[in-house]
Amino acid sequence: MATTELAPAQHEAAHEHAEHPHLGFWRKYVFSTDHKVIGIWYAVTGLLFLLFGFCLVMLMRWQLAYPGRALPLIGKLFGEARMPGGSMLPEFYNELGAMHGTIMVFLGVVPLAVGGFGNFVLPLQIGAPDMAFPRINLASYWSYFLGGVTMLASFFVPGGAAQSGWTSYAPLSVLAGQGQTMWLLGMIFLITSSLLGAINFLTTTIQLRAPGLSYMRLPFFVWAQLVTSFLLLLAFPPLEAAGILQLMDRLAHTSFFLPSGLVVSGQALAVSGGGNPLLWQHLFWFLAHPEVYVLILPAMGIVAEVIANNTRKPLFGYKIMVYSLWFLGFMSFVVWAHHMFLTGMGTTMATFFQTTTMIISIPSVAILTSLIISLWGGSIRFTTPMLFALAFLPMFGIGGLTGLPLGLSAVDIPLHDTYYVIGHFHYVVAPGTLFALFAGVYYWYPKATGRMMSEKLGRLHFWPSLLFINGIFMPMFIIGLAGVSRRLYDGGASYSFAQPVLHWNKFMSFSAWGLALAQIPFIINFFRSIKHGQPVGANPWEATTVEWAAPSPPPHGNFLSPPSAHRGPYEYSVPGHPTDFTPQFLSGSGDDREPSTGGQHELKAS
């Protein structure tokens, strides 16, 4: 693959152009085209949506733990239409379930992992002064923001928010209330945002790399964002088209997803018919399975950076990890129908998708194994970001292993739509991806603010979170294997076969509320450290990648002088070198670095 790098003269011109006159508040912070400001906006907005989505599921957990019982204190605030006398109606439970899934995936994790970390870190890691298309970058954020506002506004329309699940399956979604229309409009904004961002990331990575930063010198995080951008660019257009078609079914009375002879409440539905509900499933899952890797690949990139830095040694099998990323990205487009084994696709097609599902586990295992082997022989520093990165490894492993049975149709048919599926997916996304994102927040926070987050509060955040998050999701495998469906608003209380496992519902609910309390130290730490955190210099973690050449926080244009790369991204503990890290942005052997990293934050191994 040919390397396209920004010439030194172009870099100089870019940095000279970065000098700009004083901007007012609105231009500097709200409508800024600076990738760092946009990245911070993405991250903060994504964290707020994650908090809101988590609040929705805590309401659901009350209903599952105590079916039909009035919610104390706040139950009556939701109105008689949703919670008469404080007791939750099934329709409101469906609203909460659909919007929880949508918000956490499309408004929380993806914007934080790609929009937040991608925007802030990627240009810094490749030595670029900004993204390739700053105005498109700004448009991407505001399209995301409008999509989120549209989604939230759906709670206030007659009939409430979408009630057809985060997958929005037809024909139920076509016949649902006004909230479903708002859901579709919001999704179109969100997809447009992702497409704009994907084009920007691809162009920036290919065109704006610093001199000397060839492809095999890129940090693994940059590779992860690059592959993720390809997935977004190729997988989201089919879902955007599907969303528009479903809008037409709802508003223009077409029948793309409505079959003929449909009977609703005993009455034949007066539509032209001829549509196919399975078409929606194919279009949705063609996006949604690559979307799983859109969630997990940036997380793997973050974990790789944190592990390399805190083991003080290079990543094991860097090239194998990079090639595995690309193979993973390619294979993610040919496994989507393992979500559809119950649709009667036939044994031939089922066998094909079973095979591809087993194959796609290989590159995931290769990356995970490389990260685990990277720990061997390392001088490990148990910092807060390292704790979250280490926890990611077994949590993602559990998520992956429990997914393998679901890739086999004989096993998936009885387990489909049970709590087993919920447990599998959440182990990948919650203690998996979210723990990696927390690691990234703690790791790059000093670069964004110039101050370090408290290690004591970080540990107070980590250990209870690890305990409670397993308390939520591990029992789901037990309940799922007992055959309890995932979408019962009473948690299975009305079924006799579910009675032996119902006590786990209370256990999981108390774990969820405990997890909510465990986030308080993080919230305090996050905001308190902005002003009261320990000041740090450019490279407080003694890291090797290019972003640590910039001041903390970086100015407009990022670097005081255009950086260049002289070696690979993880030159730690090189024999014969005076220090245990050799930054790729320093020329020579690395011993010409400044003797101190400024701010004098001293790292201590626990």
87 pLDDT tier (thresholds 50, 70, 90): very high
| 578: CB partners within 8 A, 6+ apart | 590, 591
- If we measure between CA atoms, which residue out of 223, 397, 386 comes closest to residue 319? 223
Q: Per-residue pLDDT tens for 206-244? A: 999 999 999 999 999 999 999 999 999 999 999 999 999
CA distance 251 to 184: 12
Helix, strand, or coil (residue 586): coil
CATH code reported for the domain at 24-258+273-549: 1.20.210.10
Is there a contact between 104 and 5 (Cβ–Cβ < 8 Å)?
Answer: no
> Region 535-556: what's the mean pLDDT?
95
Three-state secondary structure of 427-442: HHHHHHHHHHHHHHHH
Task: Evaluate if pTM is beyond 0.85.
Answer: yes
Is there a contact between 171 and 292 (Cβ–Cβ < 8 Å)?
Answer: no
CA distance 41 to 550: 20
| pLDDT (0 to 100) of residue 136 | 97
Identity of residue 170: A
CA distance 549 to 539: 7
| pLDDT (0 to 100) of residue 24 | 78
438: its two tokens? 């927390």
CA distance 210 to 5: 6
Domain range list for the chain: 24-258+273-549
Q: Per-residue pLDDT tens for 123-145? A: 999 999 999 999 999 999 999 99
CA distance 115 to 483: 38
228: its two tokens? 């993720």
Q: Per-residue pLDDT tens for 370-406? A: 999 999 999 999 999 999 999 999 999 999 999 999 9
CA distance 451 to 371: 28
CA distances in angstroms from 367 to 57, 334, 357, listed in the order given:
32, 20, 17
Handedness of CA 501, 67, 427, 162 (dihedral sign): positive
Q: What are phi and psi of 155, to 5 degrees?
A: -65, -20
Q: What residues does 301 pair with on adjacent strands?
A: none
37: its two tokens? 């400001």
CA distance 437 to 347: 39
- Pinpoint the alpha helices (H) of 154-177: 172-175
